[in-house]
Amino acid sequence: MTGISILKERKKQIYQKGAEPFSITCGKHSLAGSVSQRACVFCGSRVVLYPIADALHLIHGPIGCAAYTWDIRGALSSGPELHRLSFSTDLQEKDVIFGGEKKLYHALIDLIHEYKPKAAFVYSTCIVGIIGDDVEAVCKKVSRETGVETLPVHSEGFKGTKKDGYKAACEALFKLVGQGSVDNISPYSINILGEFNIGGEAWIIKDYYKRMGVNVVSTMTGDGRVDDVRRSHGAMLNVVQCSGAMTYLADMMKEKYGIPYIRVSYFGLEDMSKALYDVAEYFSHNPEIMTCTQELVRYEISRIYPELQKIKTAVKGKRAAIYVGGAFKAFSLIKALKYIGINVILAGSQTGNDADYEVLRDMCDKGTIILDDANPLELSKYIIEKKADLFIGGVKERPIAYKMGIGFCDHNHERKTPLAGYSGMLNFAREVYLTVTSPVWQFAR
């Protein structure tokens, strides 16, 4: 039974390349009852700020929002691990009636006293928006009394989509930017924005820049530290990966501090190399950087090339479906998959915009399905119709793929394996190889 009918209101969010002139609707609030795979504004903020390891993250609301995000991400820290704990004001009925400000205040004072964080983020969840707590005022008071900067994050779940949560997070970060000293920052220095150190990815990338002779002032927010963010305005260039989440901050930094930015992706050989070359290009007045970069790229690629070729022979011709959060990730994934000989038959995202989907259309082969804000029924319908062998997505997509008897590869914030950089590409190819060539599928068909 693949005869799953598409909801009338959703038809415009689905496009099949070649069948019709391009038009896709996106950026809409999810349709009620559609079983969207999306989360909420809070989710967006939490994802972006999560990896700041020496900050306190307090979730102001009833227990669920905090409980479901406890230690969920693969964001590693080389030092403090405060971000891996889950703090909540755990609002109760009387707080809902009489307001939760007092509770918030005491919780903050107590937590700051106990954990001595460098700064504190307070996330407002849905009902805080309704009961009208003045979170801003409480934060101010706590900052004043404790000397620890306490920043409200306006992330009430219903007030938009995950994208609005990214924006709220950027606003909170931007308040920190500019506070620290910019002494001793090299003229060849960058900030990395939108890199969250999943499985240690930021470490891989930072190592590349270091070998090029480029200094990384701050990574926002992978293995993040409050003080690094505070001095990030001293960098010469912002390098934005995962642009959906962080372009907003880059724009603000450009306006206020005149720091230009470039967009990059660290995923796949092509995009990874371009990310390094673009930075080298920017610092072209120091030709040594370019020389080091060329050497690095050559060395790294030749290291993984033989194994990638072997994998390519094994997986060539398989068909993949991609459904990820941001559209930029989808672009890189398509290129990386093509590199190992895999065809993409479905590509979709939770938060793409018009321009993103046009790029997707241009990249995809004829017949490819492009989806905005999909749901499990649509995803499985096209997996069957297009005979996918592999699904690339997040935790909520995994059981859909497995139930339909096809391979799966995780590509979201919750994974624990680094997929960025050259070694990350090899990890990715290996994972694809392991899942599509597993002998278990003989029992599935």
Please report how close the Cβ of residue 49 comes to another protein at its closest, in angstroms. Answer: 16
Q: Which does 96 bind (CB under 5 to 8 A by kind): ligand SF4, another protein, none?
A: another protein
Q: Which is nearer to ligand SF4, 42 or 209 (CB)?
A: 42
Alpha-carbon span 114 to 82, nearest angstrom = 11
Please report how close the Cβ of residue 284 comes to another protein at its closest, in angstroms. Answer: 45
Q: Which does 399 bind (CB under 5 to 8 A by kind): another protein, ligand SF4, none?
A: another protein
Residue 392 near residue 320 (C-beta atoms within 8 A)? yes
Please report how close the Cβ of residue 75 comes to ligand SF4 at its closest, in angstroms. Answer: 19
Please report how close the Cβ of residue 264 comes to another protein at its closest, in angstroms. Answer: 29
Please report how close the Cβ of residue 104 comes to ligand SF4 at its closest, in angstroms. Answer: 15
Q: Which does 178 bind (CB under 5 to 8 A by kind): ligand SF4, another protein, none?
A: none
In sequence order, which ranges of 71-191 are alpha helices (DSSP H)? Answer: 93-98, 101-115, 126-131, 135-146, 162-176
Q: Which does 413 bind (CB under 5 to 8 A by kind): ligand SF4, another protein, none?
A: none
Q: Which does 213 bind (CB under 5 to 8 A by kind): another protein, ligand SF4, none?
A: none
Q: Which does 5 bind (CB under 5 to 8 A by kind): another protein, ligand SF4, none?
A: another protein
Q: Which does 245 bind (CB under 5 to 8 A by kind): ligand SF4, another protein, none?
A: none
Q: Which is nearer to another protein, 70 or 299 (CB)?
A: 70
Say if strands 369-372 and 14-16 run parallel, antiparallel, or are unpaired: antiparallel
Q: Which does 137 bind (CB under 5 to 8 A by kind): another protein, ligand SF4, none?
A: none
Please report how close the Cβ of residue 160 comes to another protein at its closest, in angstroms. Answer: 8
Packing angle between helix 421-436 and helix 327-339, nearest 10 degrees? 70
Please report how close the Cβ of residue 292 comes to another protein at its closest, in angstroms. Answer: 41
Alpha-carbon span 190 to 84, nearest angstrom = 27
Report the first-to-last Cα separation within the chain, whole angstroms.
15
Tokens of 372: 């905005």
Q: Which is nearer to ligand SF4, 68 or 305 (CB)?
A: 68
Q: Which is nearer to another protein, 335 or 396 (CB)?
A: 396
Alpha-carbon span 189 to 238, nearest angstrom = 9
Q: Which does 22 bind (CB under 5 to 8 A by kind): another protein, ligand SF4, none?
A: none
Q: Which is nearer to ligand SF4, 91 or 250 (CB)?
A: 91
Residue 240 near residue 193 (C-beta atoms within 8 A)? yes
Q: Which is nearer to ligand SF4, 62 or 224 (CB)?
A: 62
Binding residues (CB under 6 A) for ligand SF4: these are: 40, 42, 61-65, 125-126, 157
Please report how close the Cβ of residue 69 comes to ligand SF4 at its closest, in angstroms. Answer: 8
Please report how close the Cβ of residue 373 comes to ligand SF4 at its closest, in angstroms. Answer: 16
CA dihedral 173, 163, 337, 271 (to 10 degrees): -40
Give the CA angle between residues 327, 342, 370 to the nearest 5°.
Answer: 35
3 state DSSP class of 400 = helix
Alpha-carbon span 184 to 159, nearest angstrom = 42
| Cβ neighbours for 245, distance < 8 A, ≥ 6 positions apart | 44, 47, 48, 166, 169, 170, 194, 326
Residue 121 near residue 49 (C-beta atoms within 8 A)? yes
Residue 69 near residue 39 (C-beta atoms within 8 A)? no
In sequence order, which ranges of 216-286 are alpha helices (DSSP H)? Answer: 226-230, 243-257, 269-282
Q: Which is nearer to ligand SF4, 61 or 421 (CB)?
A: 61
Please report how close the Cβ of residue 140 comes to another protein at its closest, in angstroms. Answer: 14
Alpha-carbon span 88 to 108, nearest angstrom = 10
Alpha-carbon span 244 to 326, nearest angstrom = 6
Packing angle between helix 354-363 and helix 327-339, nearest 10 degrees? 10
Residue 357 near residue 345 (C-beta atoms within 8 A)? no
Q: Which does 35 bind (CB under 5 to 8 A by kind): ligand SF4, another protein, none?
A: another protein
Q: Which is nearer to ligand SF4, 30 or 215 (CB)?
A: 30
Q: Which is nearer to ligand SF4, 44 or 348 (CB)?
A: 44
Q: Which is nearer to another protein, 359 or 384 (CB)?
A: 384
